[in-house]
A and B are shown apart, each in its own frame.
Chain A
Amino acid sequence: MSTSLAPQTFDLEAAHRGPSSIPFSRLVAVEWIKATDTRAARWLLALVALSTAAVTLVPVVSPTGFEQTHAGYLRVAAFGLTILLPVVTLLLFTGEWSQRSVMTTFTQEPRRIRVVNAKLAVSLLLGTGGAVFGGMLATAGLVVASASGRALEADLSVGVVVSYLVFVLLNVLAAVALGAVLQHSGAAIAASFALPASVALLGKASTLVSEWIDMSTPWNWVLENDWGGHLPQITVSVLFWVVAPLAAGIIRTTRRDVG
């Protein structure tokens, strides 16, 4: 322990010219580190991997209950991913409020919108990484299934793969949007499970809700690469689940007093 700092005096002129703004790539790198460097984060990511792997196994062990096609296996992987991966990304937006480390983050970069954008970028990276991992699991499942002598329909196309990726990212973004609005881990996780379930229940009473808002219908069209004639419904549900809450979350994040 010592009390000596550097011997030189401050170069106030240099401080004035100042270092330039923090590059966005650096903000993304720091958010990536924060999302992955703690024990809790690694456990959660391991759970995502494990749960996705478990779900992807289902069509392999239960050939009669599931479409034995390449696209079918990919869709099962997508459902596996969307159980927990969105929670991981949601926590990027709520965790710092709960730990109160927003105080540090928003004084390191006081243009809060840049921090939000960096967290969005990391969420999309994690979502894409998850989708690639899910694709690998689906492929492994297909290899096992065909090795067991099953006939599998090879129906993959670029459209199917892109739709799969869009579906995963939409689920990630919907959770992220809730996190950005609620800024509380427990409340946002609860809402990310309860809200879609409640809307699905409403959808049973009204086809207007089920076709235009409820995730399970319009977003399934996305996953099934069935965009034809459904674009308006898909757009409305994305506005409802992603765009509106994300916009509200950005406004709240940039304006909220950090106590």
Chain B
Amino acid sequence: MITTTALTKSYQDIPVVRDVSLRCEPGTITGFLGANGAGKSTTLKMTVGLVRPDRGTATVDGRPFVELPNPTRVVGLLLDASAMHPGRSGRSTLTIAAHMAGVHPSRVEHLLDLVGLTHAAEQRVGTYSLGMRQRLGIAQALIGDPAALILDEPANGLDPEGIAWMRTLLRHFADRGGTVLLSSHLLHEVQATADHLAVISGGEIVAAGRLEDLLVSSTIVVRSPDLVALAAALDAARIDYVAGSGDALTVDVAGGRVTTELLASVARDHQVLLTELRQSEANGLEQLFFSLTGVDVSSRQQAAA
């Protein structure tokens, strides 16, 4: 279990993280999604005591990280795969971590095999590619057989095969009751890996919850040749809407209260002709994320098509 409560940090009076509260339960993978510079890394570093928060607290396994007697036995960390001594071999790096954690040295060989680095174990880390360092970092995170993992952009530098491998690894880890918190700036990466999500923008959490809830379309498109009559009908029924493209309105589902069925009956009651009535294709999460990161959804969809 990993929690943060109202973590807040400013650098030179510029707020970097504001009131970030997260809750990661055992058996789940929480994706921490945000653009570069949104405050993800600072939040994770505050969680593990590398950066002091101005306000707020964080706990791992019920205790502040800095009070864990031997943290690598409780939570495995991969914060920056390039922050390793380049002059040490992969095996030496893991051996030191195993020694520090107080686990049997045989775990080093097991983990080298697990992350596919046995052939490169004697090479110096300075000669590793970013993907290899990322694998070594994951092995280092797992060395103390922890029940939780905190990973900052673990997919960086991994090839598609490596990303698929990591997803399976994390899924198995969570399925055994482990807690995973991982950050990413890529929506599709988080969608494919996580089951819970927290979206951060400008240092603040703007959306959080179960992935499937967040992925549910949050708007309905209603089209009519007589927009004025449609708007009047919606006003009368106290349904919020905004102008959509062309002669359409976009209606908020208001947490499920407003459905296509309700809208159809409102139109019938007010004798408004509808030419289109459907759930918006772009899901709410995508709209939210791309509006935050400045990428236009429709242009992306065109590019994808």
Q: Is the CB of A107 within 8 A of B77?
A: yes
Out of A9, A110, A257, A259, name the residue touching B65 (CB < 8 Å): A110
Contacts of B97 in A (CB 8 A): 104, 108
- Cβ contact within 8 Å between A34 and B69: no
A16 to chain B: which residues have CB within 8 Å?
Answer: 61-62
Report the bound CA distance from A12 to B176 in whole Å. Answer: 11
Provide the residues of chain A in CB contact with B61, threshold 8 Å.
Answer: 15-16
Q: Which residue of A15, A33, A257 is within 8 Å of B50 (Cβ)? A: A257
How long is the Cα–Cα vector from A154 to B52 in the complex, in angstroms? Answer: 59
Verify if A29 is at the interface (C-beta below 8 Å from B).
yes
Whether the Cβ atoms of B70 and A99 lie closer than 8 Å is no
> How far does the Cβ of B79 sit from chain A's closest Cβ, in whole Å?
6
Residue of A nearest to B103 (CB): A19
A151 beta carbon closer than 8 Å to chain B: no
Q: How far is the CA of A14 from the CA of B151 in the complex (A)?
A: 23
Q: Interface on chain B toward A: helix, strand, loop, or mixed SS? A: loop
User: A8 CA to B145 CA in the complex, in Å?
Assistant: 11
Docked Cα-Cα span, A16 to B60, in Å, equals: 11
Interface segment among B17-25, B81-89, B243-251: the answer is: B81-89
In the assembled complex, the CB of A102 is this many whole angstroms from the nearest CB of chain B, namely 8
Q: For residue B80, which residues in chain A have a CB less than 8 angstroms away from its CB? A: 100, 103
Q: Which residues of A contact B176 (CB under 8 A)?
A: 5, 8-10
Instruction: Check if B140 sits within 8 Å of A104, measured CB to CB.
Output: yes
Is the contact region of chain A dominated by helix, strand, or loop, or is it mixed?
loop
Bound Cα distance from A247 to B74, whole angstroms: 32
With A10-B178, A104-B140 as known contacts, state yes or no: A40 contacts B68, CB within 8 Å.
Answer: no
Please tell me if B48 contacts chain A, counting CB pairs below 8 Å. yes
A26 to B48, CA, bound (A): 22
- When distances are taken between beta carbons in the complex, the residues of chain B under 8 Å from A12 are 26, 147, 177
Q: Verify if A109 is at the interface (C-beta below 8 Å from B).
A: yes
| Contact (A99, B169) CB under 8 Å given A30-B99, A106-B49 | no
Does A18 lie within 8 Å of B70, measured CB to CB?
Answer: yes
Within 8 A of B (CB), among A1-48: 1-6, 8-10, 12, 15-16, 18-22, 26-27, 29-30, 33-34, 37-41
Given contacts A2-B113, A99-B84, A101-B84, 15 further A-B pairs with CB under 8 A are A12-B147, A15-B73, A18-B74, A19-B73, A26-B99, A33-B99, A40-B87, A99-B83, A104-B77, A104-B140, A107-B65, A108-B71, A108-B72, A110-B49, A259-B45
Q: Which 9 A-B pairs have the closest CB atoms?
A: A1-B116, A100-B83, A38-B87, A258-B50, A110-B66, A21-B69, A10-B147, A3-B168, A257-B51
